[in-house]
A and B are shown apart, each in its own frame.
Chain A
Amino acid sequence: MDPVIESQHQRIPWRWVLLLNILGQARLLVLFASGSLTFTMRKFIDSPMIINSVSSLDIVFNLLVAAPCLYYSDRIWTRHGRRMPFVVVSFVVLAVVLILLPLAGGAVPMIVLIVLWLIFWDVGSTFDTLMMEIIPPGQRGRSAAIGAWMLNAIIMISAVVISGRFDDVVHGSLATLRGEELIYWWGAACLIFCVIFLVLFVRERKPLGHPPPSAGNGWKGAFESIFAEKSLWPVYLLVFSTILMQTGLGAIDPLLMTEQWGYSKQDMGTNVFVGGMINMFIVIPLIGLIADRMDRLKMFSIGVIGVLVGQVAYYVFVQFILPDRRPSITHMIIFGQLMSMIGQFSGIAMQPLIFDYIPRDKMGTAQAGLNFVRSVTRLVTLNGIGLWVTFYSKMFLPVGKYDYFSGYLFMIGMNLLGCGFLFYFARQVR
């Protein structure tokens, strides 16, 4: 009688897989709950520039915290395992942060808590590795399918039940509960569930092989080796340009819908719910059908040009065709799904295209370099869009008002710039 789930087995019972997927989804529910961070920040911070800057710290900590934690978790062993200490510490701190977050009475404690949140979320990035060490390769395919099904279910629950609750206040006979507390404490409860699950029922077994050797030379050496290889520069340029083209509004996106267009957070949830259903039942099967019948380079070109055309069309439609410059939820879903569909064309074609230009013996270095370029570019574009919206609004709007939709101009600009770099890339590799 031992119900403990262990790592390092060649085959495991399917009930383990099911339980681990429930565990994984509980963690993702926390991530969805953290989607309300924009609204928590908005309570104390007006400037979209600062809101996006705080959010973009996520990318910094991805580089500074997640990468070292993952690196060291490969090379240590404790009596509690090598991934578990990171995960458990991370989840406990995150739960405390989420409990305190809705009680923060000012901008400073709130930002401290959000920074702690971002740091410790990355400390817990060894969670996925732990899952992969428990689920053997032969069972990962079906596990991913179970996970995908559960993910869709929790997206629906988050969109319809949770995301719209932020502003609610329920005066129960025992206590008063604010929606913000409900959302974050729900997230904390999910984390506590994960901690109990991991501590009582998951055990890491020591791997049989030796840990991989240290890279040596520290950060500097690693950084230099990434960029020393000149043959990889065009690939970095390719990724840089595609990330430019994927620039989004970031944390200010929900503010466009709620503050500028006057929709409620529940409307936002409806948008995600209906969009998700269309995506699941129409867009993804359609893409799958077309993807097998089309040349990858052609798909990539359609994706790149299509997204740019879609953004321009959406901007023109809202700004110049809609009489009150305010799209309905249906408009948002139609444009959102169209752009998502077109975007998936380039997404599907992108990965193989990149690796076509990387020599086999440099794939590891290239992967590290690609991650670095992606992170830095995202950091720049996220902060750039916050700056743009702030200054555009200062120029053209009365004091205290923000035109979040002007961010689309920045997005279109970045898309054009990305297209320019892509054209240059195409000429270089021809």
Chain B
Amino acid sequence: MKYKNIDQLLELCQKHNLSISDVALQDTANSMEISTDEVYEKMLQNYLIMKDSIKEGLKKDLKSVSGLTGGGAFKLKTLVDNKKNISGSLMGEIIYSALSTAEYNACMGRIVASPTAGSCGILPACLATLQNHYKFDDKKVVMALINASAIGKIISTNATVSGAEGGCQAECGSASAMIASGIIELFDGTPKMCTDAAAQALKSHLGLVCDPVAGLVEEPCVIRNASSATIAITSAEITLAGIESLIPLDEVIEAMFRVGNQMAPELKETALGGIAICKTAKELEKKILGCN
């Protein structure tokens, strides 16, 4: 059940008539020398922590050490609860849940890096919200998470999920692609549709730079978690409607890696480019870091 790229993963799915998550579950059990039940249980624990971080991050008076973020998720939830947001309850919940986990991370809360701490809000937001609205059981949601992890593993191996190496497209872009694939499995799409949705999501992130103000995982990281979660939903929607990705996922992953390599170091987590060097950003940086 070994796979090195998307092509091989899809081939295994087809040959054995399995879902992406089934293949990943088998492969992980084999390589870790544990049972598939143990792999499932371990992933379930991660999912429960994800749900907990959404809940904790929704507190009203949450504030990060720097003071740049915190409390935003609560504000949006209040709007959504009062049916005063634009995009309805499902999209509203996706957005505030992504904000919530990302803000909780900035406030030294406990999160699951997925695939990184900077992009930790995207997977939980999509999974927990869809579970709430469509009443999926934990089993189905955890399998979607395992599906997403298989895509993430291929991206990590063949390209990168590190902002320092590939910019934000590698962190939030990968997370969005991973969960777009997971969502398709939740809604019983085929393995090929999963990877198409992931390709759409990753394409939508190409070129996105990593430019954290003051070098902190807060501005613009928190907001990007929310927008990347919505891109995952968009990608899944269009895929379920039967729109295919003209470029296969393996090639999009390759393109993402190439774009990352072409990016100047200033745009890769060094806080030396992008919005990190705007006048206001520098003023904020001075205020936060003070003595430095």
Task: Indicate whether A and B interact.
Answer: no
Interface residues of A (CB under 8 A from B): none
Interface residues of B (CB under 8 A from A): none
